[in-house]
Amino acid sequence: MSRDPIVVCLHHPKDPDVGLVAERASASRRPLDLRVLPFKESVKLRRARQAPPVPAELLAEAPAPSAELLDGWNAAEVLFTLDLPAERLDDMPNLKWVQAYSAGLEQYPLEELGRRGIRLTNAAGAGAPAIAEFVFGRLIEVCRNLRSIEAMQSARDFHRPGGRTLSGKTLGIVGLGAIGSAVARLGRAFEMKTLATRRSARFGATSPDVDVLSGPEGLGRLLSDSDVVVLCAPATPETEGLIGAEALAGMKKGAVLCNVARGALVDEEALVASLAAEHLGAAILDVTREEPLPQDSILWDAPNLYLSPHSSIPPDAYDARLFALFAENLVRYAEGEPLVNEISLP
């Protein structure tokens, strides 16, 4: 087994906790050469990489690598990054493994990584507890009319705002991965009945985190039976527009829809129409199809819509969990063991 240092380039965040990574990965048989080399593309360019080819004018705006960054790329065996420009892979001749900063992989050149034999792991699960907290914070805000209570205080007009409890209601989770499971466990704590779908679930499948588990074919039943529906599924060709006019019409009148997955899962025009018709009681969107959300978007003024700017995860909690996972994988990598969250590439 090689004893040469593992050269690791850390691109994002700008000031990573190198000490945590070094301490947690101290059991590695190979020494680590950790290089903090910040690299981050614009949101616009990152979005464009999700639907190649990228327009030439956007590529022209890509950050130019410094000599130090090019030297790091040339030596890197491992990359920890939010962005990975396909056109720069030739500058990384020794690259063997990429740790994605995100759970979603839409901006990464998956086919090219597969062709070059470069391994890829994602951040699935790193943000799960924080996202679940966010979901229930918003649900309490919606169901207990906290906006009305704030308005009452501002108006100095004391009255009871009404509302409803979560206890005893049915929680439907579309996508029972790490995030969906964390949401389900909190749902149980609120004494909710929990239903879920999972892409890989087959007839008769069960999970300790939910009362009823089904495959994608169970979506219609989940929507019709749930008082709250939380979207936690990845963005794939199969989930594009998953919640459209037909799906929304199949939901309970007055139900709440919460999307902490990807904006592509929801037909936003159909969602606004359902809210305006008062079929859907409320919608919570931490993600939208276009981010940042344009000022002229129809979402801003939709009734009973609770928007947030893709901010369900506080960076401190997310980074600590992800660096711990990355350090564990560095030890596994040095030992030749399977990596946690490794993606099967085309």
- Catalytically active residues are 262, 291, 310
Whole-angstrom distance, CA of residue 79 vs CA of residue 116:
15
C-alpha pair distances (Å), 340 with each of 35, 42, 119: 22, 28, 12
40, burial (CB in 10 Å: exposed 0-12, middle 13-18, buried 19+): middle
Whole-angstrom distance, CA of residue 186 vs CA of residue 141:
16
Whole-angstrom distance, CA of residue 139 vs CA of residue 118:
41
Whole-angstrom distance, CA of residue 225 vs CA of residue 223:
6
Tokens 């990228």 belong to 54
Three-point CA angle 101, 259, 111, nearest 5°: 40
Output phi, psi for 116, to 5 deg.
-90, -5
DSSP helix/strand/coil, 338: coil
Terminal C-alpha separation, the chain: 28
Contacts of 288 (CB under 8 A, 6+ apart): 263, 268, 297, 299, 307
Whole-angstrom distance, CA of residue 19 vs CA of residue 13:
14
The token duo for 261 is 């997955």
Tokens 């009973």 belong to 304
Whole-angstrom distance, CA of residue 229 vs CA of residue 243:
11
Query: Other CB atoms closer than 10 Å to residue 103's CB: what's the count?
Result: 22
* Phi-psi label, residue 219: left if phi above 0, alpha if psi -120 to 50, beta otherwise: alpha
